[in-house]
Structure 1
């Protein structure tokens, strides 16, 4: 298991955006941090009031947006428009090409979010968009399934061999999850401090588990922790 520390991430800042890159992105390049299995990008972004990303394009990427604070307004070339708030999860399949913009229309409040890119199973598909609200209470004290290849249990379906879970643990709470055999796992701490199999992870830290052997994962916290768990194919070399 590799403990990846928050302060090892790439960084970017301008007048309206502060960002931390878990993997190589834009001007940040680290050959050792190109991807983990099909997980290509985790960007932790703080978008200032009245700031945002103007219309821009993506291709052949599965993009998941997970908002922790504030409201992010989305528009795309398919005609979709929405606001993404805490509890909402958005999936955009870029496919053979899509344009979108993301803005924070608040006059005073920043938006804090994670944007996640996953390599697709099939390229050149019709682009698509979906958004689901998962009440925060559903992930308190347990792992809530958010994204799957088949859309089971009310999750968002996605064009990649990945299952994404999220959980919020209060102080003293514990959750258990059995890592599937012949799968890789990546745990990202969104907020707070998480204890995973006796190892303490802080906000922005991650744990990469590439091995194929099954493993019982025990999560706990001495404060409040919010974290994501990615169930992935065995990591590519």
Structure 2
């Protein structure tokens, strides 16, 4: 039996797919807009990883989702969420949100700052499939600001049994976890060891395996290997740990 050596693919910020409609500027690590076969371009379980800048007062009108775990993380500004199950919330930096679309849900997402505020919203939205289809739609949000203050890598969303007592919100996929860190310059964190890992520099600069990473850059790891990533400026780093792949 042979085992493939671990591989790392660097995806530079400027190489992401770009979609813009005048109000929403979307930088997509995987092609999302108009793509009806998300699994084909996925890395592990990660189907969608969009960094969206939304103009004041604008956003996504009510639309439908089903059979999807949707995780939202605000970098700057405030996002207003409303859905057909009755959940409402205003997300700000430091608050992780998980929406399990299950058998089907309608929701809207908008920049909560009004048209005259001149304050854009910058948000990362990530999609993975559920382990079980057609469950009841559900919603969770949790402020993890205090946990991130120390600069360590924190589990913020997970469906792994290992994380049952420490995750902020619980994913409906038993093979995935999202970790976030806000390291200061010079601080290193250990990347989880898993068959599929996605590292995203949401803010700041870092180095990993001798490669310089800037804001918006990503690394797709396949085949395991516990790498270290070192911040070279105050940074915010999002890391998906995945133990299976989308089908």
TM-score, L = length of structure 1: 0.91
SS of aligned partner of 2:67: coil
> Are the aligned partners of 2:56 and 2:121 in contact in 1 as well (CA < 8 Å)?
yes
What is the CA distance between 1:137 and its match in structure 2?
Answer: 5.4
**Whole-Å Cα distance in 2 between the matches of residues 155 and 144 of structure 1?**
9
Counterpart residue number, 1:166 = 180
Partner in structure 2 of residue 143 of structure 1: 153
Does structure 1 residue 16 correspond to structure 2 residue 16? no
Aligned-residue RMSD, C-alpha: 2.1
CA distance in 2, matches of 1:120, 1:31: 14
Pick aligned residue for 1:203 from 207, 210, 215: 215
Question: SS state of the match for residue 7, structure 1?
Answer: helix
Deviates more, 1:193-202 or 1:89-98: 193-202
- Alpha-carbon shift at residue 140 of structure 1 (Å): 3.9
Q: How far 1:178 sits from its partner (Å)? A: 4.7
- Closer, same or farther: CA 128–189 of 1 in aligned 2, 3 Å: same
SS at match of 1:169: coil
Instruction: Give me the whole-angstrom Cα distance separating, in 2, the residues matched to 1:56 and 1:168.
Output: 32
Deviations 1:103-159 (A, max 9, x none): 113132111100000111111111110101101552542101101115431421111
| Corresponding residue number in structure 1 for 2:33 | 26
Provide, for residues 27-65 of structure 1, a one-character-per-residue CA deviation record: whole Å limited to 9, x for no partner.
469999711111100000011111111111101000000
Where does residue 4 of structure 2 map in the other structure?
Answer: none
Q: Which residue of 2 aligns with 1:218?
A: 228
Q: What secondary structure, in the 3-state scheme, does the structure 2 residue paired with 1:39 have?
A: coil
Give me the whole-angstrom Cα distance separating, in 2, the residues matched to 1:178 and 1:81. Answer: 33
Structure 1 contact 11–28 (Cα < 8 Å) conserved:
no
TM-superposed CA distance for 1:193, in Å, is 1.1
Q: Does structure 2 conserve the Cα–Cα contact (< 8 Å) formed by 1:193 and 1:223?
A: yes
Which whole-Å deviations, capped at 9, do the CAs of 1:160-219 have from their partners, x for residues lacking one? 120110011221222224514xx32111111111111322111111111111x4x23212
Correspondence 1:16-55 to 2 at 5 A: 16-27=23-34, 34-55=41-62
Question: Alpha carbons of 1:132 and 1:192: their partners in 2 closer, same or farther (altered >3 Å)?
Answer: same
> Any unmatched runs of 5+ in structure 2?
1-7
Q: Which moved more, 1:49-58 or 1:169-178?
A: 169-178
1:131 aligns with 2:161: no
Select 1:192's aligned residue among 204, 225, 230.
204
Return 5+ residue gaps in structure 1 as ranges.
none
Task: Show the counterpart of 2:131.
Answer: 121
Report the secondary structure of 2:140's partner residue: strand
